[in-house]
Amino acid sequence: MCFSATASFTAAAVLATIGVATLRHVREPRALLFASVPLLFAFHQFSEGLVWLSLAGRLGRYAVDHSVFLFSLYAIGILPLLMPTAVALMEPPGWRRRGILMLTGVGALVFAWDMAGLVIAPTCAVIDQHSIAYSNPVTSRLWVSLLYILATCGALLLSSHRVVRGYGVLNVVGLAIVHLVKGYAFASVWCFYAAVLSVVLYRQFHRQDIDVAVPNGTSGVPRPFVLAWLR
């Protein structure tokens, strides 16, 4: 699989279009952050397109450091906190929500560590076999990576919502494949995969004729659609 600035900018354009369309179907404020995932990934892929152009020497002398930091800010710093937070906001009270909140705490720890690492130590980015390999002496540690995966994918898998769990399973599968095939460029390739995969969220937010499973102890009053498709 070949990646390039063109691939990143194309993905950004597609994701931005789908992201805006997805947000138009949100009827429940608690789902807004999760519904924003495709649009956030669009900005993220756009930032990696800038990294490609910077490494090719097409954006000026200081563009590499700035574009690499912009990409790393979301991929390494924000994402491990954003994902469990988005899932926790949608989760009804219960043991699953408590578990997801614990993982949100793990994500906050990773966020704090990685943000400090991104500020303290420069992140190196090089083109390696048609992919970009990122490395940072502070954030590129095994225990940080394990907590990162636990927070981002663990929250998805723990959700009571079928679609959220499915998105989590697909991300874990992709994570394993990327690690085996392109481990040297893990951050870049997995984020690209997760970004493209996020387009499935549009279909779920767009569908309005879905059976709703009414939880125990609640009435059968129709719920806002965003919660309906997640049940």
Q: What is the pLDDT of residues 62-71, one digit of tens each?
A: 788 888 998 8
Q: What burial letters (b/e) apply to 50-65, b meaning 16+ CB within 10 Å?
A: bbbbbbeeebeeebbe
The residue type found at 101 is: L
State whether the Cα torsion 203-206-210-213 is positive or negative.
Answer: positive
Question: What pLDDT, in 10s, does the model give residues 16-75?
Answer: 988 898 888 888 888 889 889 888 888 888 998 999 999 888 887 778 888 899 888 988
pLDDT of residue 6: 85
Q: Nearest-CA neighbor of 115 among 73, 67, 148?
A: 73
What pLDDT does residue 11 have?
Answer: 85
What is the distance in angstroms between the CA of the first residue and the CA of the last residue of the chain? 36
Q: Which sign, positive or negative, has the C-alpha torsion 63, 65, 68, 72?
A: negative
| Averaged pLDDT score across all residues of the chain | 80
Under the banding of pLDDT at 50, 70 and 90, the label for residue 183 is: low
Q: How many CA atoms lie within 13 A of 170 on its CB side?
A: 16
pLDDT above 50: residue 218: no
Which residue has better confidence, 16 or 182? 16
Distance in angstroms (rounded) separating the CA atoms of residues 207 and 12:
24
Taking the whole predicted model, whether its pTM rises above 0.75 is answered as yes
The mean pLDDT of 147-163, rounded to a whole number, is 89
Q: What is the pLDDT of residues 83-128, one digit of tens each?
A: 999 999 989 999 999 999 999 999 999 999 999 999 998 888 888 8
How confident is the model over 161-184, as a mean pLDDT? 76
pLDDT at position 200 over 60: yes
pLDDT of residue 216: 45
Using pLDDT thresholds of 50, 70 and 90, give the confidence band for residue 158: very high
Look at the alpha carbons of 133, 136, 137, 142 in this order and tell me if their dihedral is positive or negative. Answer: negative
d(Cα 136, Cα 76) in Å, to the nearest integer? Answer: 10
Report the share of the chain in percent with pLDDT over 90.
Answer: 26
Contact between residue 86 and residue 156 where contact means Cβ atoms under 8 Å apart: no
Of all residues in the chain, the percent with pLDDT exceeding 70 is 82
